[in-house]
Homo-oligomer: A and B are copies of this chain.
Amino acid sequence: MASSLISRRFALSLQTNLWLSASACRYVSKAAPKTQVDFDYDGPSMKTSVPGPRSQNIGAINFFCNYEESRGNYLVDVDNNRMLDIYTQISSIPIGYNHPALLKLMANPNNLSTLVNRPALGILPPENFPDKLTESLLSVAPSGMRRVQTMACGSCSNENAYKAMFIWYRNKERGHNTPSDEDLSTCMINQAPGCPDLSILSFMGGFHGRTLGCLATTHSKAIHKLDVPSFDWPMAPFPRLQYPLQEFTRENAQEEARCLEEVEDLIVKWRQKGKPVAGIVIEPIQAEGGDNHASPDFFKSLRNIARKHGCAFHVDEVQTGGGATGKYWAHEHWGMDDPADIVSFSKKLLTGGYYHKDELQADKPYRIFNTWMGDPSKNLLLAEVLNVIRRENLLEEVTRSGKALLNGLYDLQAQNPGILSRARGQGTFCAIDICDDATRNSILLKARDKGVLLGGCGDRSIRFRPALVFKEYHVHMFLNIFNDVLAQHK
């Protein structure tokens, strides 16, 4: 199984000291040799085009994978093609494939019971559940939050976060938490006041999931929303900034001010319509919608607007959370003590869920509830992932790799002005725009056939979503291959 793994030392000796930061046509690693990567391969290895003859390509399926042979940053397909994976299952693999620490954890007989006895966590949690939460999710809780509710996936996390905001808002309106008889009877037949006409304010380009509540706040692509009934909820413009951000501070501040003004207008307007905004939901970086950034000042002002108008503030970190920006949570870059009322997560956290402030705790049992409410086996994995992140200083690595990646993208953009624009990112959570959709898709396929797996986002962007074990030498390996692909499009 490990036959094609070679000594890291040997592999790296082939790659050192060749990176030229100027306009050289080849980008090769200048990174120092690394330890802790024994489980990684030495580079891509392509046997066929992808999907190959043993694979299939139907519907949304790209190709079939051999997860047993995949390692670290490399995804192996059923045709034994080995690709440097910079998409990582839509940004959901935290520390690479088959990390030895996780394999060891799952092979431990003490954990068998957790794998075969899935509890109804809301009523009958396992003895160690509070400890496992403390070790895992609560050890990285956002500032000001001491409570977390696990859920099975990202959509359920946001759906339940919305419910928590609605419940909080209605109790605030009532001034107490005792519903009237009319509340209790009307809610059973979907009518107000029991099912009130409350709304969640979201942003154009935002993505918060595909179940009916989430979908009413998702505005990224038509195919996600088409034919599904929705709610009349307000949508504000998300700032359309110019990049690099530091070169357009004045223009970007104006654009952000415009959007914030619109947010306040919408809150007032929807209150007047009788559909008050109970909560505002936003991503720290709009991911699916095209990797759209906004400044810490924008988010600080938005947080204040939410507070001023009595709306809860929900930061959706399903894609941004888990370390890819160089911090556990992208909102940490805002530098706020009280960044949000609710922070939802999934993907790299391996379990869905949301953190919340004490006042967003539902006032009675069974209001936020379902059968499983998460999965302790995922908390077990997450606790070990966090151990690995700390032990291997992966957030520092991400910051270092991210700088190399963004600088490399700036260089390539300077050399390919007809193709590339708007390189942007935080940590390794980077993106770049391609001149048009067709070229973008052609680049994605050509890169794949050369052994680099990337994903698109927005209309014509490529998003970079490597695992946290993506090191500087992986960056340089990618830049070399990407440079070759771009040369075919000149």
Instruction: Identify the A interface with B (CB < 8 A).
Output: 59-68, 70, 75, 78, 89-90, 92-93, 97-99, 102-103, 105-107, 109, 112-120, 122-127, 129, 152-156, 159-160, 162-163, 166-167, 169-171, 179, 183-185, 187-191, 194-199, 204, 209-213, 216, 219, 221-233, 235, 346-347, 350, 352, 364-367, 369-372, 377, 381
- CB neighbours of A163 from chain B (8 A): 210, 212, 227-228
The verdict on A120 contacting B92 (CB below 8 Å), with A153-B156, A212-B211, A230-B190 known, is yes
Contact residue among B59, B118, B196 (Cβ-Cβ distance under 8 Å from A350): B118
The answer to whether B124 touches A210, judged by C-beta atoms less than 8 angstroms apart, is no
Contact residue among B60, B154, B197 (Cβ-Cβ distance under 8 Å from A369): B60
The verdict on A129 contacting B64 (CB below 8 Å), with A97-B117, A166-B229, A370-B209 known, is yes
- CB neighbours of A92 from chain B (8 A): 118, 120, 371-372
Chain B CB count within 10 A is highest, among A59, A107, A219, for: A59
- CB neighbours of A93 from chain B (8 A): 117-118
A36 to B338, CA, bound (A): 57
Chain B CB count within 10 A is highest, among A127, A229, A371, for: A229
The answer to whether A369 touches B210, judged by C-beta atoms less than 8 angstroms apart, is yes
- CB neighbours of A70 from chain B (8 A): 117
The answer to whether B162 touches A156, judged by C-beta atoms less than 8 angstroms apart, is no
- CB neighbours of A369 from chain B (8 A): 60, 210
- CB neighbours of A109 from chain B (8 A): 107
The answer to whether A370 touches B153, judged by C-beta atoms less than 8 angstroms apart, is yes
Query: A235: nearest residue on chain B (CB-CB)?
Result: B189
Contact residue among B90, B103, B204, B366 (Cβ-Cβ distance under 8 Å from A123): B90
A-B contact pairs, 26 of them (CB 8 A): A59-B365, A60-B123, A61-B125, A67-B113, A67-B126, A89-B124, A89-B371, A90-B123, A90-B371, A107-B112, A153-B156, A154-B370, A155-B156, A155-B159, A159-B210, A167-B228, A183-B227, A188-B204, A190-B230, A190-B232, A194-B226, A197-B229, A209-B370, A211-B211, A223-B366, A226-B367
- CB neighbours of A213 from chain B (8 A): 211-213
A338 to B219, CA, bound (A): 38
A99 to B211, CA, bound (A): 34
Chain B proximity of A229: nearest CB distance (Å): 5
